[in-house]
């Protein structure tokens, strides 16, 4: 009998639907079927692929409420954030339907005689290993450009969002994509190595932990397969001396609390100079307290449960360890009574090296306030992290903020006076332990193509 997994509602603890896991050979057979389907798909015109991708966007919008409710039941996302996520997925599909042909058009090279150009051809089947925190966006973020480039796609989603994975497979099929060109496999982590090594898989993309990235990169590297890794983040936001403190506090709270704090690009470390620290902490605590816990199905709720009790308890453990090593709690920091994986918006101050709040990524609604002596020290602290995904600068001096963001911060993305976010038009990815490669924009679609030189001598 096939092994099964059963989902659990993080808000109530109640069990949901059960799903049968694919056995290793079943997963390999799915990859083979996708490779076979891709042989025909790669020959389709951009116009045809775009037509189907636009249909997928329409279906996402038509099914928005049901898909948002599915996310709520499986990983606790509020309905409001869930609906926004589905709209973002639809916009992403539309964007690549509109722009893929131009992004992958042949580029002529002047060789002063023979004709030369660069062609962009699909690689084959891309295996995507995706996390639970944005169950549709993470998957569509890779799938739309990969499919528009003529690749096939196999999705191995997180074990707590199987319904989301199969809903996306059904959606692409209903949009008219070939039967096997986008497939979901539901397998154990231990069974992934054989899938990565399979000759039917051409490349791998992963969004997840640093440990998962190391493991996948090692296996893929051993068989010389292209990978794109988007790993953890501990984004530092610098509040400069001239910042509008009230406005900065609101930006920082928004950055910290996206998806209940469960985001790689959520702001996590907020670095402020001594002169502004007291005023910033007062304003920041007020902004964070506005995120009150509640039923994720209530339209007014701004902070739902975390994805699991185990995740909540791990976050609380890191808060307690930070406090034991000298941090102070300004708000939150206590597990509430009652069912569900709830944890309040929490602000820690006196955060220093050696504390989990300084050294590690806390994947939940916990913000760390770190004092800097001056601007140079603030930049040093922001860069004093193994991660390099996103970063922020809060200032009234836009030229100064732009200079720091563009030249001084060691991150794949730096935003001035705004929370870091992903967008189809902007390349997305990190440096250091936050991974390598890019998603979205022209850079993202060109990650999984053969950039091929062609020269024709007359």
Query: Which residues are identified as catalytic?
Result: 230, 264
Alpha helices (H) in 175-294, listed in sequence order: 192-197, 210-222, 245-257, 274-289
Residue 422 burial class via C-beta count within 10 angstroms: exposed 0-12, middle 13-18, buried 19 and up:
buried
- φ, ψ of residue 242 to 5 degrees: the values are -95, 5
Q: In 3D, which of 262, 373, 357 has the Cα closest to residue 319?
A: 357
Rounded to whole angstroms, the Cα distance separating 347 from 229 reads: 30
Cα–Cα distance, 192 to 196 (Å, whole number): 6
Residues paired with residue 428 on neighbouring β-strands, in sequence order: 439
Chain CA centroid to CA 37, Å: 28
Cα maximum dimension of the chain: 79
DSSP 337: S
CB atoms within 10 A of CB 18: 10
Residues whose CB falls within 8 Å of the CB of residue 80, separated by 6 or more in sequence, listed in order: 299, 301
Q: What is the rounded end-to-end Cα distance, in angstroms, of the chain? A: 64
Nearest to 139 by CA among 161, 123, 160, 155: 155
Q: Mutual orientation of helices 162-174 and 137-148 as an angle, nearest 10°? A: 30
């Amino acid at each position: 009998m096939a092994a099964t997994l059963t989902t659990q509602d993080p808000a109530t603890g109640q069990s949901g639907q059960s799903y049968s896991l694919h056995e290793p050979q079943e997963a390999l057979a799915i990859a083979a079927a996708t490779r076979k389907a891709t042989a025909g798909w790669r020959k389709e015109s951009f116009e045809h692929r775009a037509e189907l991708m636009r249909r997928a966007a329409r279906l996402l919008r038509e099914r928005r409420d049901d898909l948002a409710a599915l996310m709520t039941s499986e990983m606790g996302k509020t309905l409001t954030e869930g609906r926004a996520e589905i709209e973002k997925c639809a916009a992403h599909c539309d964007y690549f339907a509109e722009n893929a042909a131009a992004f992958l058009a042949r580029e002529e090279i002047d060789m002063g005689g023979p004709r030369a150009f660069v062609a962009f051809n699909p690689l084959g089947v891309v295996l995507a290993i995706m996390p639970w925190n944005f169950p549709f966006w993470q998957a569509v973020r890779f799938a739309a450009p990969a499919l528009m480039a003529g690749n096939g796609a196999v999705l191995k989603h997180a074990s707590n969002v199987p319904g989301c994975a199969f809903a996306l497979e059904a959606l692409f099929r209903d949009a008219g994509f070939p039967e096997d060109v986008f497939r979901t496999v539901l397998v154990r982590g231990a069974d992934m190595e054989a899938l990565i090594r399979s000759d039917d898989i051409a490349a791998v993309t992963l969004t997840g932990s640093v440990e998962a990235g190391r493991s996948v990169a090692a296996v893929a590297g051993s068989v010389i397969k292209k990978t794109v890794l988007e790993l953890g983040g501990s984004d530092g936001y610098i509040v400069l001396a001239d910042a509008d403190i009230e406005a900065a506090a609101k930006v920082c709270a928004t950055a910290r609390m996206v998806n209940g704090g469960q985001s790689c690009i959520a702001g996590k470390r907020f670095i402020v100079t001594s002169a502004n620290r007291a005023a910033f902490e007062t304003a920041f605590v007020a902004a964070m307290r506005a995120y009150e816990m509640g039923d994720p199905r209530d339209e007014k709720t701004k902070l739902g449960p975390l994805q699991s009790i185990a995740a909540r308890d791990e976050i609380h453990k890191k808060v307690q360890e930070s406090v034991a090593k000298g941090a102070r709690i300004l708000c939150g920091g206590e597990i509430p009574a009652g069912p569900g994986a709830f944890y309040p918006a929490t602000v820690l101050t006196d955060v220093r090296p050696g504390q989990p709040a300084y050294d590690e990524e806390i994947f939940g609604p916990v913000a760390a306030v770190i004092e800097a002596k001056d601007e140079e020290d603030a930049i040093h602290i922001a860069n004093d992290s193994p991660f390099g995904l996103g970063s922020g600068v809060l200032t009234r001096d836009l030229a100064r903020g732009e200079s720091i963001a563009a030249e001084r911060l060691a991150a794949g993305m730096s935003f001035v006076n705004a929370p870091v976010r992903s967008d189809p038009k902007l390349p997305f990815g990190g440096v250091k332990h936050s991974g390598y490669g890019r998603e979205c924009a022209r850079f993202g679609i060109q990650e999984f193509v053969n950039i091929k030189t062609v020269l024709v001598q007359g």
